[in-house]
Amino acid sequence: MRTRVTDMFGIELPIFAFSHCRDVVAAVSRAGGMGVLGALAYTPEELEVELAWIDEHVGGRPYGVDVVMPASYAGSDLGLDSPADLVARLQGMITPEHRAFVEDLLAKHNVPTLTGSDPGKVLLGWTDATARPQVEVALKHPIALLANALGPPPADVVELAHSKGVKVAALASTPRHAIKQVEVGVDVIVAQGTEAGGHTGEISTMVLIPQVVDAVDVPVLAAGGIGGGRQMAAGMALGADGVWTGSIWLTVEEADTPEMAKKRILEATSRDTVRSRSWTGKPARLLKNEWTDAWESADSPGTLPMPLQYMLVSPALRRIGNSDAAELATFPAGQIIGAMNQVKTARQVVFEMVEEYIEAMERLDRITAD
């Protein structure tokens, strides 16, 4: 297969795989696609370890790193460059009412407190100040792509990446976003429909992709609802140069997704997700359960703006993850989880996607042959 992105990155397949797991990233790149590591949860030191591992295991194939530098967030106007100072100030902005709501919810579900948790990690990667050290670490490695979620990356970060020969991608959920991102120098637009897991807009992939393709001259990757070869073919038919996938890697053999979460995803239907602000303060598609329901209920205090909501709930979600309260364990997941019913290797997922893509193309050719 040959598109502008296979040429740009020297890859065989225009399949991009977002994952927080280094094993998945390396496996997809080795299979001919491009793995992209989500750096969000890693300290700079941890990220260094992950990327060094990928360098050793990716067999010289290109891979990418994804950071979150939101264009807007609470505290962005405080002018505090030190992450520690920023965290302290932001902690003070979380209301006692919100803290009580979370504690009550956990108490109702008998979630025990956790010893040895690391409060310093609650803000990693959600602000410009805390994401920059991640970018610096990433650019010391032979990465091919730096991707940014949540708005256009800062112009100096784009320049820095370009100066090292690294291409920059950004996620867009409207054509207007995409135009702004290209204006700051972004090389590849990931146009992401509302059905996607994690932070996502309102417009569906089917409607969004042609609008973004028509709005910008750079290559576009179709994201949101892409799990198999028919969806890949659909994304390409809509005008994309490749596909960006996320949720489907949560259940592969290589993924270090908690067993409880893997089980929930394998059993879920496509109606078991919801777009909710209860994780980070910005709308993100999550597994729908008693956690997301609670934040919509009559006694919910409402969610806080980014990054306060994540600072508030991230210790709670860690406690839930270590408890038996599976009914509260939510995480980013796209509607495609309804189609994920068995564990496969990452390599198998890539090959089956290509096989189904070819079958879809053959069927399309037959339709117009007559």
Number of amino acids touching its own copies (CB under 8 A):
50
Question: Is 191 one of the binding residues for its own copies (CB under 8 A)?
Answer: no
The span from the CA of 150 to the CA of 192, in Å, is: 11
Nearest to 20 by CA among 314, 271, 265, 252: 252
- Residue number, 247 or 257, with CB nearest to its own copies: 247
Nearest to 55 by CA among 32, 20, 26: 26
Tokens 């309102």 -> residue: 202
Question: Is 270 one of the binding residues for its own copies (CB under 8 A)?
Answer: yes
Nearest to 48 by CA among 128, 126, 140: 140
Kindly tell me which residue out of 184, 339, 348, 351 binds its own copies, with binding defined by CB under 8 A.
339
Question: Is 266 one of the binding residues for its own copies (CB under 8 A)?
Answer: no
Per CB under 8 A, the segment of 85-93, 182-190, 310-318, 328-336 that binds its own copies is 328-336
Residues 136 and 130: beta-carbon distance below 8 Å: no
Query: Closest distance between its own copies and the C-beta of residue 367, in Å?
Result: 6
Q: Residue 231 has which token pair?
A: 């969806």
Find the distance separating the first CA and the last CA of the chain, reported in whole Å: 26
Q: Is 254 exposed, middle or buried (0-12, 13-18, 19+ CB in 10 A)?
A: buried
Query: Closest distance between its own copies and the C-beta of residue 195, in Å?
Result: 4
Query: Closest distance between its own copies and the C-beta of residue 7, in Å?
Result: 10
DSSP for 331-346 reads: -B--GGGGG--S---H
Kindly tell me which residue out of 33, 62, 153, 235 binds its own copies, with binding defined by CB under 8 A.
235
- Residue number, 332 or 334, with CB nearest to its own copies: 334
Query: Closest distance between its own copies and the C-beta of residue 69, in Å?
Result: 23
- Residue number, 114 or 266, with CB nearest to its own copies: 266
The span from the CA of 149 to the CA of 198, in Å, is: 10
Nearest to 356 by CA among 234, 268, 208: 234
Question: Is 225 one of the binding residues for its own copies (CB under 8 A)?
Answer: yes
- Residue number, 46 or 356, with CB nearest to its own copies: 356
- Residue number, 260 or 361, with CB nearest to its own copies: 361
Query: Closest distance between its own copies and the C-beta of residue 13, in Å?
Result: 11
Q: List % helix, strand, coil for the chain (3-state, nearest 5).
A: 45, 15, 40
Strands 198-199 vs 284-287: parallel, antiparallel or unpaired: antiparallel
Per CB under 8 A, the segment of 38-46, 65-73, 134-142, 362-370 that binds its own copies is 362-370
Question: Is 360 one of the binding residues for its own copies (CB under 8 A)?
Answer: yes
Q: Which residues contact residue 163 at a Cβ distance below 8 angstroms, ignoring those fewer than 6 apart?
A: none
Identify the H or E element spanning 313.
helix 308-321
The span from the CA of 368 to the CA of 370, in Å, is: 6
Q: Cβ atoms within 10 A of the Cβ of 105, count? A: 22
Per CB under 8 A, the segment of 44-52, 111-119, 195-203, 319-327 that binds its own copies is 195-203
Q: Per-residue string for binding with its own copies, 136-175, x by CB under 8 A?
A: --------------------------------------x-
Q: If you ran DSSP here, which 8-state letter would residue 327 be given? A: G
Kindly tell me which residue out of 69, 158, 203, 220 binds its own copies, with binding defined by CB under 8 A.
203
- Residue number, 114 or 237, with CB nearest to its own copies: 237
- Residue number, 67 or 234, with CB nearest to its own copies: 234
Kindly tell me which residue out of 8, 106, 144, 226 binds its own copies, with binding defined by CB under 8 A.
226
Residues 270 and 337: beta-carbon distance below 8 Å: yes
Per CB under 8 A, the segment of 89-97, 155-163, 234-242, 297-305 that binds its own copies is 234-242
Residues 221 and 240: beta-carbon distance below 8 Å: yes
Per CB under 8 A, the segment of 46-54, 141-149, 236-244, 258-266 that binds its own copies is 236-244
Per CB under 8 A, residues contacting its own copies are 1-3, 174, 193-195, 201-211, 224-228, 230-231, 233-239, 269-271, 334-336, 338-339, 358, 360-361, 363-365, 367-370
